[in-house]
Structure 1
Amino acid sequence: MVVNRKIKIENEEIFYFLEDNNRPKVLFLHGFNSSHNFTFQLRQNKKRKYDIVAFDFPGCGKSSNNQKINVENYQKIAVNFIKTLNLKVKIVVAHSLGAAIGLHILKENFVEKAILAGPLNPFIFDSSFKKQMERLGFWLLPRNLYEAKETVTNLFYKDKPNSEASLFKSAIAFFKLVEEKKELFSDMVFDQILNLDWHKNVLLPLYEQKNEYFLIGAEMDKFVPLRSVEKVGATFGKKVVKFEKTGHAIFYEKSDLINAEIEKIL
C-alpha cells in the first residue's frame, strides 16, 4: 500500500509519501528547498527490503508555509510527524540540511540509526573552503540567472543537463522558484546555514551525540566538501563512506549505492 496525502502538523499542511508493506520503515529527510521527490529513483527499486517514508518540509514541495521557516521548526515538524502517524522508524536517511533534522530525531530516540549524506556540518567553515563558502549563499538563493546556472551546474558531477539550452532551461525554472521563495528562506540561509555561531551552538552538539550515525561524502561535492564530512567522522569517531565521481546530488547520481548502504544496516 502507498499513501500520498496531507496531514496537519504544527499549523502546517504537510504532504507526505508512505509505503506500508510490512517492511522496516526508513524515513527520508530532504535538503534545502527540495522535496520528498528526492527519493524518486529509490522508489523505482522494487527489490528494496524497506518501506520509504518521506515528506515535504514547510515551504517545500506540496506543503504549506504558514510559519517562520527555520531548522528548529523543521525539527518539530519531523518529531510530530513521527508521533502523529505513530511510526516505528528503523533508520532516518537525511541529505544536506536534512542532517540537522535527522540528528535531532536521532538524539531524541525517535529512530534507531541515521545515515547522513552530504550533511551540512560546522567544518564547512574551514579556511580551505573559503571560496566555496563565499559562493554558497548565492547558489542557495541566486540573485540572477547566471548564479542560478552556477547552482544547477555545480549540483552534479556527471549527469548535468546535456546541452547549453537544457542547462539554461533548468536555470530559468530554478531561478523562478527561488524568486518566489527568497524572502521565505532568507533567514534560514543567512542566520543558520551560513552562520558559524549557529553551527557551533546548535549543529555541533547534535554531531557530538553518542547515538549511532554514519556519513556519506561525495568526492566532487561543491556544496558540502568531502573533506568536511571526513573531518566530522574523524572528530566524532563515525564511519565515513566515500562516493567517487559524485556531486551534491547524491540521491540522483548514486541511488543504487545509497540503497546498498541502507540495507547493510537494516
Structure 2
Amino acid sequence: MSDNGLKQSYIQVANINLYCEYILNDKPPILLIHGFASSTYTFRRIIPLLQKKFSILAVDLPGFGKSEKSTSFVYSFQNYAKLMIECINKFGLANTYIVAHSMGGQIALNMAILAPEKINSLILLCSSGYLKPAKKPLIWISYLPFFEKFIHYYIGRKDVQDHLRNVFFNQELINDELIHEFGKPLTEKGFYKALIRLLRHREGDLLSHQLQNILVPTLLIWGEEDRVVPVEVGHKLVRDLPAAQLITYEKTGHLITEERPELVFKNILKHTIYQF
C-alpha cells in the first residue's frame, strides 16, 4: 500500500498481467488512463486530491509502466478500450468517470463508443486527436530484424530531460525524480517490442463522424502551450463531440497534471460531483 492509502497490485485481465493502484469506497468511481510512454505516475499529483471525493482505479496500460509488455496483445485503441472496460467490470464499477491523458483520451473515447452505459462522463486532458495510423511502408519495415534497434536509437537520440522539456511549459518543475521515473521505460527491452506492436496495430484516432456519435458528457482540458498535442486539437474536438466543453490554461504545457494539479482537480469536481 502506498503512502496515500492506495492499494498497489497486479491483476489478470484478458490474460494480461496489469499493474494497478486503487482505493475503493462508497464514493463515485473514477478511472485514470495515462498516455503514451507513461504510467499511473502521470496522476501522482492529482490522486491525493481526487481520493477525497472519489473511488480511484489507475491502471498501467499493457506495454507501459509496470504492466506486462505482451507480445501477443493487439495494441489497438479498441483493444485497449475493451481491456479497460473489463477492468472496471472486474472491480464492479458502474457509472464511472474517466480521466484520460494524451493517448489515453483516444482509449477513453473508444470506451464511450463501446460501452456508453458504463460511463458517467469523460475528462480528457490534452487528448490525442485526428492522428492517422502509421503508413504501410513503415509497418512493413517494422518486421525487419534491425527495426527494434532503430526504434531504440530513434528514441535515444534525445535524453529524458529533453523529452521532459517538450511536455512542460514551466521548465523549473523538471527534477531528478521526474527524469528517473520517465526514464525507466527506456531501460526495458520489452518496452521497445511493445512500441513496435503499437506502431503496427494503432488504427488511427477516431474520425469526426465517429466523434459526432459520442453523447457521453465530455470535459476537455488543455494547456495553451502544449507542444505535443496543440490546443487547436481541443478546439476541433469540442466542435465534433456533441456534449463537450473546453477549458484551457495559460502558461501550461502537455503534462498538465504536473503543472496544474489543483486546477485540474477543481475542474473535474465542477464537471462531475457538482453537476448534479
Q: TM-score of the superposition, structure 1-length normalised? A: 0.79
SS at 1:4 equivalent:
strand
* Residue from 48, 63, 86 that aligns with 1:44: 48
Q: Which has the higher helix share?
A: 1
After TM superposition, the structure 1 = structure 2 runs for residues 91-110 of structure 1, keeping only pairs within 5 Å, are 91-107=97-113, 108-109=115-116, 110=118
Query: Counterpart in 2 of 1:223?
Result: 228
2:69 counterpart of 1:72:
no
Cα pair distance change 1:172/1:240, threshold 3 Å: closer
- Contact 1:103–1:206, Cα closer than 8 Å, also in 2: no
Cα pair distance change 1:150/1:248, threshold 3 Å: same
Cα pair distance change 1:35/1:245, threshold 3 Å: same
Q: How far apart are 1:161 and its partner, in Å?
A: 6.0
2:16 counterpart of 1:12:
yes
CA distance in 1, matches of 2:36, 2:152: 8
Structure 1, unpaired ranges of 5+: 126-137
The residue type paired with residue 240 of structure 2 is: T
Q: How far apart are 1:160 and its partner, in Å?
A: 4.6
Cα pair distance change 1:36/1:170, threshold 3 Å: closer
CA distance in 1, matches of 2:154, 2:185: 7
After TM superposition, the structure 1 = structure 2 runs for residues 114-133 of structure 1, keeping only pairs within 5 Å, are 114-122=122-130
Cα pair distance change 1:172/1:251, threshold 3 Å: closer
Structure 2, unpaired ranges of 5+: 134-149
After TM superposition, the structure 1 = structure 2 runs for residues 138-153 of structure 1, keeping only pairs within 5 Å, are 142-146=154-158, 148-153=160-165
Q: How far apart are 1:182 and its partner, in Å?
A: 2.2
Cα pair distance change 1:178/1:142, threshold 3 Å: farther
Root-mean-square deviation (CA), in Å? 3.2
Query: Counterpart in 1 of 2:31?
Result: 27
The residue type paired with residue 100 of structure 1 is: Q
- Contact 1:123–1:232, Cα closer than 8 Å, also in 2: no
Aligned length: 246
The residue type paired with residue 117 of structure 1 is: L
* Residue from 86, 89, 92 that aligns with 1:86: 92
- Contact 1:153–1:160, Cα closer than 8 Å, also in 2: no
- Contact 2:211–2:240, Cα closer than 8 Å, also in 1: no
- Contact 1:140–1:151, Cα closer than 8 Å, also in 2: no
Q: How far apart are 1:60 and its partner, in Å?
A: 1.4
CA distance in 2, matches of 1:235, 1:75: 20
Residue by residue over 1:232-254, the C-alpha shift from the partner in whole angstroms, topping out at 9 and shown as x without a partner, is 11333521000111111111111
CA distance in 1, matches of 2:252, 2:152: 19
After TM superposition, the structure 1 = structure 2 runs for residues 113-262 of structure 1, keeping only pairs within 5 Å, are 113-122=121-130, 142-146=154-158, 148-160=160-172, 173=183, 176-177=186-187, 181-189=191-199, 192=202, 198-199=204-205, 202-208=206-212, 209-237=214-242, 238-262=244-268
CA distance in 2, matches of 1:241, 1:124: 25
Identical amino acids, percent of aligned pairs: 22
CA distance in 2, matches of 1:226, 1:140: 30
Cα pair distance change 1:140/1:75, threshold 3 Å: farther
Q: How far apart are 1:73 and its partner, in Å?
A: 2.3
Q: TM-score of the superposition, structure 2-length normalised? A: 0.77
- Contact 2:77–2:110, Cα closer than 8 Å, also in 1: no
- Contact 2:63–2:190, Cα closer than 8 Å, also in 1: no
